[in-house]
């Protein structure tokens, strides 16, 4: 099995800690082999400070990491320019954070790594050292040369959701909602469900923007003028799409049995249900990239960094899902060859 390229994220956050804890639980949790792109001395000192029995070993790449993963925590060294103060992000180390992402993408793009899993970054810190992208997803799309914008999918065992608009004020999200945006997101979601999850003829449920999905225009016309026409186009594409449906009836047990993913109109409409169902185990997936990329569905956790309380559940789920997606994508590609 090829190793997964795991980035350090912000070294002052919980990324390095949960990486160490994920490796420590590799056998009981079925964690696939990964290579950690970061500073070996930093994670070695962190393991000692946290009382974790994790032998750290530098490697040349994913192949060597896979060979030693059972017995050692493999690190592809990327030196941190400044000492790390846990919980206090330092722009001086931003270049190393970005280098880890760059190298992980290169490894996955060349086929040396099975996939990329990214630990959380502090965007405000990276902006201070020249980072000009809204976030991880946009930067990865740029690195991969993706011809169209990727889509963000949040995944847990009970639910998959894809927000059409993501990180913007709610008032702006309603203005940004267009037929083209919904169609593009729906097409990317359907392709991802088939190619990365192995779901033939996937079923999409589409949430309305307004309460009661607009109540026939009495509570808003977006469902009539934007969401409905987008659904018509997706259906003409041959996709199985239902909606627009009231969001408040879309996520209960019975409703979830009728679709493979829900297309949501804005950030919280998608993330509230998935975090309610599985707060610690959700995974962020980027659809529409030529490589497989997942990430824990949480932030840097500066307030708890280095205290030993950060849970690795979401990272473990992200690693496991990345391995499964990479395998499924390979199988689907072979089937089409």
DSSP string, 165-209: S-SS-HHHHHHH--HHHHHHHHHHHHHHHHHTT--SS-EEEEE-S
For position 134, what pLDDT does the model report? 79
Where on the phi/psi map is residue 110: left (φ > 0), alpha (ψ -120 to 50), or beta?
alpha
Residue with tokens 């199988």: 331
The candidate with the shortest Cα–Cα distance to 301, out of 29, 18, 99, is: 18
Is the Cβ–Cβ distance between 58 and 77 less than 8 Å? Answer: yes
Is the Cβ–Cβ distance between 90 and 12 less than 8 Å? Answer: yes
Question: 23-33 burial string, b = 16+ CB within 10 Å, else e?
Answer: bbebeeeebbb
Note the pLDDT tens digit of each residue in 120-129. Answer: 998 888 888 8
For position 48, what pLDDT does the model report? 97
Q: How far is CA 221 from CA 83, 213, 214, 227, 293, in A?
A: 54, 9, 6, 9, 36
What is the C-alpha separation between 266 and 306, in angstroms, rounded? Answer: 33
Find residue 206's DSSP bridge partners: 263
Give the pLDDT means over successive 10-residue stretches in the chain (337 positions): 95 97 97 98 97 97 97 98 94 94 97 97 87 85 88 96 93 95 97 96 97 94 97 98 97 96 97 95 95 96 95 98 96 72
Is the Cβ–Cβ distance between 35 and 2 less than 8 Å? Answer: no
For position 43, what pLDDT does the model report? 98
N- to C-terminal Cα separation, the chain:
22
For position 137, what pLDDT does the model report? 86
Extract the tokens encoding 97: 């954070």
What is the C-alpha separation between 288 and 294, in angstroms, rounded? Answer: 12
Close Cβ partners of 321 (under 8 Å, ≥ 6 residues apart) = 155, 283, 285, 294
- Judged by DSSP in three states, 35 sits in strand
Q: How far is CA 220 from CA 177, 223, 239, in A?
A: 13, 7, 26
What is the C-alpha separation between 129 and 197, in angstroms, rounded? Answer: 37
As a residue count, the chain comes to: 337
All structural domains of the chain: 1-147+290-337 (3.40.718.10), 158-277 (3.40.718.10)
For position 337, what pLDDT does the model report? 58
For position 333, what pLDDT does the model report? 75
For position 130, what pLDDT does the model report? 82
Query: Which secondary-structure segment (H or E) carries 36?
Result: strand 34-38
The dihedrals phi and psi of 335, each to the nearest 5 degrees, come to -65, -30
Find residue 88's DSSP bridge partners: 85
For position 215, what pLDDT does the model report? 94
């Amino acid at each position: 099995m090829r190793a997964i390229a795991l980035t350090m994220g912000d070294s002052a956050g919980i990324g390095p800690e949960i990486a160490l804890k994920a490796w420590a639980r590799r056998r009981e949790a079925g964690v696939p082999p990964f290579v950690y792109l970061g500073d070996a001395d930093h994670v070695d000192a962190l393991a000692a400070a946290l009382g974790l029995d994790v032998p750290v070993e530098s490697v040349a790449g994913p192949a060597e990491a896979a060979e030693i993963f059972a017995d050692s925590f493999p690190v592809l060294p990327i030196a941190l320019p400044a000492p790390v103060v846990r919980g206090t992000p330092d722009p001086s180390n931003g270049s190393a954070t970005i280098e880890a992402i760059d190298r992980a993408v290169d490894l996955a793009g060349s086929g040396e790594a099975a996939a990329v899993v990214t630990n959380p970054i502090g965007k405000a810190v990276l902006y201070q050292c020249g980072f000009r992208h809204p976030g991880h997803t946009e930067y990865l799309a740029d690195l991969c040369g993706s011809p169209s914008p990727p889509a963000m999918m949040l995944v847990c065992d009970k639910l998959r959701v894809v927000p059409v608009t993501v990180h913007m004020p709610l008032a702006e999200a309603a203005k940004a909602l267009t037929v083209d945006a919904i169609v593009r997101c729906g097409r990317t979601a359907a392709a991802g469900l088939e190619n990365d999850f192995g779901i033939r003829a996937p079923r999409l449920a589409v949430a309305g923007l307004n309460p009661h999905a607009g109540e026939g225009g009495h509570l808003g016309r977006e469902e009539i003028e934007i969401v409905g026409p987008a659904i018509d186009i997706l259906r003409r594409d041959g996709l199985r799409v239902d909606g627009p449906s009231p969001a408040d009836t879309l996520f209960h047990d019975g409703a979830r049995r009728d679709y493979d993913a829900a297309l949501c109109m804005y950030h919280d409409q998608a993330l509230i249900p998935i975090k309610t169902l599985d707060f610690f185990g959700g995974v962020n997936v980027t659809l529409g990239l030529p490589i497989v990329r997942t990430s824990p569905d949480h932030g840097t956790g500066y307030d708890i960094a280095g205290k030993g309380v950060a849970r690795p559940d979401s990272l473990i789920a992200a690693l496991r899902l990345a391995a499964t997606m990479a395998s499924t994508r390979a199988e689907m590609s072979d089937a089409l060859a």
